[in-house]
Structure 1
Amino acid sequence: MKFDMHCHTKEGSMDGKVPIDDFIAELIRKGFDGMLVSDHNSYNGYRAWKRNIKEQKYKDFVVLKGIEYDTIDAGHILVIMPENVKLKILELRGLPVQILIDIVHKNGGILGPAHPCGEKYLSFTNTLKKRNQMAVMNRFDFLEGFNACESVESNHCAKVLAEMYALPTFGGSDAHKTDCIGMAYTDIPEQIHCESDLIRAVKLGEGIKCGGSYYRGTTKEKIGKANNILVQSFWFYNRLGSLYRHHRRKTEMHKMV
C-alpha cells in the first residue's frame, strides 16, 4: 500500500494551506492508498476528517491519525498511537524526547524523528546534544528517510542513520501546499486499515520502502539565508510555547501515573 506519511492540513496546522478533504482528493488522484495526518502538535486535521468525511467519502482511502510533536530538546518527532488510545499530552508541545518516548511506548505507540538531519531546532541530529543521540536513536521505532521538502544531503544523512540503527524508513511529502502533496511515498507490503496495523508493520520492519522527488517551493528555498531568522524565531516560539503549556503537561502527566 502506498502512503504519504507526513501531511499537514489547514484544519490542524497553522501553516497548512490545504483542507483535509482536498488533501485526500489530491492523493487519490496521484494513486495513493492512504495518508498519515501529522499536524503540528494537533489532531484537529484528523478530527475534521472523522467528523465531516469518514463514512461519507473516500471509503477505500485510509486516513491514519498521527502527530508531529515539537520536543523541547530534539526537534520534530512523528508519533502514531493505537486507534483506541487518546493522550491529551501529545497536543501539548515541549516534552523532552526521552519522556515522550516513555509515554508513547508505555501506551503501545511508535515514534521516530521527522527530517532527522534537517534544520537546527527542527531536526533530531541538529538539536539534541551529540553525546545523547545514540541512546535516543536506539529507542526509536522508525525514522523519516525521505522528506520531499529537505535537501539531498539531509535525506542521505537520514538513510545512513536508518542503516546504522536498522530502522524502517518512512517517506513523507511534508506538504503544507497543494503542489507538494504526494511528492514522497511509503510503500508498505502489509494491508493497513488502522493505526494498529501500521504499528505492527513497523515493528515487523520488513519490506517497508520509501522515496519520492524534491519540492522546491519551500520557504527556505525562496528566501535563502534569511531563513535563518525564521529558524531562530521558531526556537524562541517553541521555548515560549513549552513554558506556557508546562502546567497543563504536568497535570496530564499526573493523570497517567
Structure 2
Amino acid sequence: MKFDMHCHTKEGSMDGKVMIEEYIRTLKRKGFGGMLVSDHDSYDGYREWKNAIKGRAHQDFVVLKGVEYDTCDCGHILVIMPFGVKLKILELRGLPGSILVKIVHAYGGILGPAHPYGEKFMSMISTNERKKKYQQRIAQLLPQFDFVEIFNACESAETNAKAKRLAEKFNKPGFGGSDAHRLDCIGKAYTELPDTIRSEDDLIAYVKTCPQIECGGEHYNGTTKDRIGRLNMVLVDSFYFYNKLANGWRWRKRRRELFDIIEKKL
C-alpha cells in the first residue's frame, strides 16, 4: 500500500495551501492508501482530520499523525509518536537534535532527518557540514535515528541519492514523501508499506524491525527554488532569522515542558 510520508496541510502549516480533506481525496485518486501528516511544529492538520473527518468519511484511507520538527541545530526532523502520546514540546520548535532524540525515544516514538542534504538551516547535513564539529555531531546522532527520508519530491536527484547513501551507511530504512505544500505536488513520492499498517503503533513496530522499505517517486519542479532560482537564497537566509526569533519567543514554554519531561522520563 502506498503512503505519502511527508505531507503539509493548510490547517497545520503556514505555507501549506491544501486543506487536509482535499489532500486525502487527491491521494486516493492517485492510488494511495495512506499519508503521514507532517506539518511544521504543529498537529493542527491532524486535529482537523480527527475532529471533523475521521469516522465520517474516507474510512478506507489511513491518516497517520506526525510532525516535522524544527531543531536549533539539525534542521527538520520527522517525528512519529505512539497513538495517544501527546507532547506539547513537539509543537514548540527549537530543541537541539540530541535532546529531541532522547525525548522521542523515551516515549516510544521514532524519528529521522527530513531531506538531510537539502537547503541549509532546514536540513541536517547542510546545516552542519561547514562546522568544525560536523563529523562528530553526525557520528553521534545518525546512529540514533530510526529512519532517513531518502526520497523527497522537492529535492534534486543528487541530494536524494546522497540521502540514500547516508541511510545505507547507517543501515537505516528509508522513507519517501512528496513534501507537498501545493496541490500539484501531492503524491509525487511514495513509501510502500504493508496493508497491516493502520496506526502509528503499527508503523513504529514495522520500522523498528524492517531494515529496508521501498520508496521512490518523481521530482516536483514547481518549488520556490525552481521558480525564482538564486533569489531563493534570500528566503533561505530569512528562514534562518525567523527560526532564531521563533525559537527565542517559545523558549519559556519549551523550558517548562522540558523540565516536566525530565522529571517524568529522562
Q: Distance in 2 between matches of 1:205 and 1:114?
A: 19
Shift in Å, 1:60: 1.0
Q: Tell me if 1:217 matches 2:259.
A: no
Q: Of the candidates 151, 163, 166, which is equivalent to residue 146 of structure 1?
A: 151
Shift of 1:207: 4.7
Q: Is the 8 A contact 1:190 1:201 kept in 2?
A: no
Tell me the equivalent position of 2:178. 173
Q: Which runs of 4+ in 1 moved over 2 A?
A: none
Partner residue in 2 for 1:235: 240
Q: Look up the match of 1:112.
A: 112
- Structure 2, unmatched stretches of 5+, are none
Moved more, 246-255 or 65-74: 246-255
Q: Note if contact 2:172-2:211 (Cα within 8 Å) is conserved in structure 1.
A: no
The sequence identity of aligned pairs, in percent, is 61
1:189 CA displacement: 3.1
For structure 1, the residue ranges without an aligned partner over 5 or more in a row are none
Letter paired with 1:136: L
Contact 1:3/1:186 (<8 A) preserved? yes
CA distance in 1 between partners of 2:84 and 2:238 (Å): 36
Contact 2:172–2:212, Cα closer than 8 Å, also in 1: no
SS in 1 for 2:126: coil
Compute the RMSD of aligned alpha carbons: 0.8
Which residue does 1:48 correspond to in 2?
48
Structure 1 length normalisation: TM-score?
A: 0.98
What is the one-letter code of the residue matched to 1:148? A
- Equivalents in 2 of 1:65, 1:192: separation in Å? 13
Q: Which residue of 1 aligns with 2:207?
A: 202
Deviations 1:90-149 (A, max 9, x none): 000000000000000000000000001111001010113413111100100001010000
Q: 1:41-74 deviations in whole A, cap 9, x for unaligned? A: 0000000000110000000100000000000000
Q: SS at the partner of 1:125?
A: helix
Q: SS of the counterpart of 1:127?
A: helix
Kindly provide the amino acid, as one letter, of the partner of residue 230 in structure 1.
L
Q: Does the alignment pair 1:226 with 2:231?
A: yes
Partner Cα distance (1:3, 1:134) in 2: 30
CA distance in 2, matches of 1:203, 1:91: 24
Is residue 82–residue 196 contact of structure 1 (8 Å, CA) maintained in 2? yes
CA–CA separation in structure 1 for the residues paired with 2:138 and 2:246: 24
Give 2:194's aligned residue. 189
CA distance in structure 1 between the aligned counterparts of 2:226 and 2:57, rounded to whole angstroms:
36
Q: Which amino acid aligns with 2:231?
A: A
Q: CA deviation at 1:192?
A: 0.5
Of residues 227, 245, 249, the one that matches 2:250 is 245
- TM superposition score normalised by structure 2: 0.95
| Residue of structure 2 equivalent to 1:16 | 16
Aligned residues between the structures:
257
Distance 1:145 1:113 in 2: 9
Shift of 1:206: 4.3
Structure-1 residue corresponding to 2:81: 81
Q: Helix, strand or coil for the counterpart of 1:230?
A: helix
Q: What's the CA shift for 1:84?
A: 1.3
Task: Give, in angstroms, the shift of residue 208 of structure 1.
Answer: 1.4
CA deviation map 1:142-164 (0-9, x unaligned): 01010000011110000010110
